[in-house]
């Protein structure tokens, strides 16, 4: 195996231990979780006990405060389980819902919400997308009215990963000073949650959440009022890079699954892996995967060195998501008719893959961000 210059021996040891943990504690249960459409609290606790739910968070609150390439490994191995519902539920909890508390929250918020989230005792979700707005953060309709000692929140959120089973939500909402972030306990009076039925990603729950006159204490405001858009703009870069890491990890796992099948499946007296038409198609997508991988690793290196790589993160998300969809489609073709059968894992993977160019900002949004920066010369500045 050719080792990457981005990784140290410690990184490879971490990869081995992480893969061993998933193979022992997670993989045997994924089929049942897919059928149950839920990840049990016990699984979250196991991840928490290992510190994995705080891999990017402070050690003071139980996290690992790991470097960027440990996070790369974590997300790749998370997706090598080949269950995107499980992978996205964990990624949203770690990198999207609790990230703002870690970055801009105060000590009280970190003790009350971040610590139990890292321990796997509380599940978190991010409330950003809305029914009529999508992810157009500047035009959010959910409003938090300042009532002196509390906010009164009204509005709704949609496509919320972990929304049914989450204990709290990092809510993106409008206030009299602009977009703000609030921590909302989801057992509060006035909160209603409806489960949404999806094509795939069945292990993760997805919800529509309604907030009607929900009282949120002033101390649950994350950072400064009116600064939420800037917090989100910075955090979204890591979100997009994490999703790109997840895509390449998934593609690595699908590659192994497909090559194993091609070596075992015979037609016309030889393994189909020896048929030139098929092996050349696989060579094409493998080459594309390695090219995207290097872009993602270089972007991770930039983030590690303090570079606010907005354009590169958008490119990583765009290219990895589009390849993710194509890659799985090509691999399913190698299975022939069996690829369309539910008993084969590739069928579930194929359903799940369609969401890659949608979640975390659609491919169209990524192209517009890249256009603004590359063509119009627009720049974005760090906030945290």
Q: Which of 64, 96, 119 is where one domain is finished?
A: 119
- pLDDT for 383 equals 62
In this prediction, residue 135 has a pLDDT band, given cuts at 50, 70 and 90, of low
Whether residue 331 lies inside any domain: the answer is yes
pLDDT for 105 beyond 70: yes
Are 241 and 131 in a shared domain? Answer: no
In this prediction, residue 235 has a pLDDT band, given cuts at 50, 70 and 90, of confident
Whether residue 4 lies inside any domain: the answer is no
Element (H, E) at 351: helix 345-353
Are 175 and 254 in a shared domain? Answer: no
Whether residue 379 lies inside any domain: the answer is no
Mean pLDDT of 59-63: 96
pTM: 0.95
Are 341 and 269 in a shared domain? Answer: yes
Which residues, other chains included, contact 377 with Cβ-Cβ below 8 Å and sequence gap of 6+? none
The mean pLDDT value of the chain amounts to 95
- pLDDT for 2 equals 59
Are 36 and 169 in a shared domain? Answer: no
Integer Cα distance of 262 and 272 in angstroms: 5
Question: What's the angle, vertex CA 294, arms to CA 290 and CA 300, rounded to 5?
Answer: 140
pLDDT for 229 beyond 70: yes
Number of domains composing the chain: 3
- pLDDT for 242 equals 97
Integer Cα distance of 253 and 345 in angstroms: 11
Q: Which of 197, 226, 255 is where one domain is finished?
A: 226
- pLDDT for 382 equals 73
Report the CATH number that the domain containing residue 131 is assigned in CATH: 2.40.110.10
pLDDT for 1 beyond 80: no
- pLDDT for 380 equals 81
Are 364 and 241 in a shared domain? Answer: yes
For residue range 75-99, what is the model confidence (pLDDT) as tens digits?
Answer: 999 999 999 999 999 999 999 999 9
Nearest Cα neighbor of 278 from 345, 333, 350, 346 is: 333
**Catalytic residues, which ones?**
239
Whether residue 2 lies inside any domain: the answer is no
Mean pLDDT of 237-250: 97
pLDDT for 138 beyond 90: no
Cβ–Cβ under 8 Å, residues 250 and 84: yes
Which residues, other chains included, contact 56 with Cβ-Cβ below 8 Å and sequence gap of 6+? 63, 64, 65, 66, 71, 94, 95, 99, 102
Q: Which domain holds residue 345?
A: 229-374
Report the CATH number that the domain containing residue 311 is assigned in CATH: 1.20.140.10
- pLDDT for 136 equals 73
Whether residue 380 lies inside any domain: the answer is no
Are 14 and 100 in a shared domain? Answer: yes
Are 239 and 313 in a shared domain? Answer: yes
pLDDT for 23 beyond 80: yes
For residue range 174-197, what is the model confidence (pLDDT) as tens digits?
Answer: 999 999 999 999 999 999 999 999
Are 17 and 87 in a shared domain? Answer: yes
Report the CATH number that the domain containing residue 32 is assigned in CATH: 1.10.540.10
Are 61 and 174 in a shared domain? Answer: no
Are 222 and 129 in a shared domain? Answer: yes
Nearest Cα neighbor of 156 from 185, 186, 184, 192 is: 192
Are 110 and 131 in a shared domain? Answer: no
- pLDDT for 350 equals 98
In this prediction, residue 204 has a pLDDT band, given cuts at 50, 70 and 90, of very high
- pLDDT for 184 equals 98
Whether residue 60 lies inside any domain: the answer is yes
Nearest Cα neighbor of 162 from 244, 86, 56, 84 is: 86
Whether residue 297 lies inside any domain: the answer is yes
- pLDDT for 139 equals 83
Greater model confidence, 133 or 364: 364
pLDDT for 233 beyond 90: no
Cβ–Cβ under 8 Å, residues 189 and 69: no
Whether residue 1 lies inside any domain: the answer is no
- pLDDT for 3 equals 74
Are 18 and 112 in a shared domain? Answer: yes
- pLDDT for 379 equals 86
Q: Which of 190, 211, 226 is where one domain is finished?
A: 226
pLDDT for 256 beyond 80: yes
């Amino acid at each position: 195996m050719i080792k990457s210059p981005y990784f140290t021996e410690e990184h490879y040891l971490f990869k081995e231990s992480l893969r061993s943990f998933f193979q022992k504690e997670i993989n045997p249960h994924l089929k049942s979780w897919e059928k149950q459409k839920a990840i049990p609290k016990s699984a979250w606790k196991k991840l928490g006990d290992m510190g994995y739910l705080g891999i990017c968070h402070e050690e003071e609150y139980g996290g690992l405060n790991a470097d960027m390439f440990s996070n790369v490994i974590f997300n790749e191995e998370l997706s090598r389980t080949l269950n995107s519902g499980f992978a996205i539920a964990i990624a949203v909890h770690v990198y999207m819902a609790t990230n703002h508390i870690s970055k801009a929250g105060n000590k009280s918020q970190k003790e009350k919400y971040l610590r139990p989230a890292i321990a796997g005792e509380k599940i978190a979700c991010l409330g950003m997308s809305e029914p009529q707005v999508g992810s157009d953060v500047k035009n959010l309709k959910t409003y938090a009215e300042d009532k002196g000692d509390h906010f009164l929140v009204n509005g709704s959120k949609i496509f919320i990963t972990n929304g049914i089973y989450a204990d709290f939500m990092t809510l993106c909402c409008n206030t009299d000073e602009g977009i703000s972030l609030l921590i909302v306990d989801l057992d509060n009076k006035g909160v209603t949650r409806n489960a949404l039925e999806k094509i795939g990603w069945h292990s993760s729950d997805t919800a529509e959440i309604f907030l009607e006159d929900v009282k949120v204490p002033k101390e649950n405001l994350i950072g400064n009022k009116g600064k939420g858009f800037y917090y989100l703009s910075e955090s979204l870069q890591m979100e997009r890079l994490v999703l790109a890491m997840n895509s390449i990890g998934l593609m690595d796992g699908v590659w192994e699954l497909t090559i194993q099948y091609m070596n075992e499946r015979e037609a016309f007296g030889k393994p189909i892996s020896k048929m030139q038409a098929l092996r050349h198609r696989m060579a094409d997508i493998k080459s594309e995967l390695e090219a995207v991988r290097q872009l993602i690793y270089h972007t991770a290196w930039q983030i590690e060195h303090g570079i606010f790589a907005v354009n590169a993160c958008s490119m990583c998300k765009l290219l990895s998501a589009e390849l993710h969809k194509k890659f799985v489609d090509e691999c399913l073709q190698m299975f022939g008719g069996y690829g369309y059968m539910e008993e084969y894992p590739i069928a579930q993977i194929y359903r799940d893959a369609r969401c890659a160019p949608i979640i975390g900002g659609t491919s169209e949004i990524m192209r517009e961000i890249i256009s603004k920066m590359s063509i119009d010369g627009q720049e974005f500045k760090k906030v945290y």
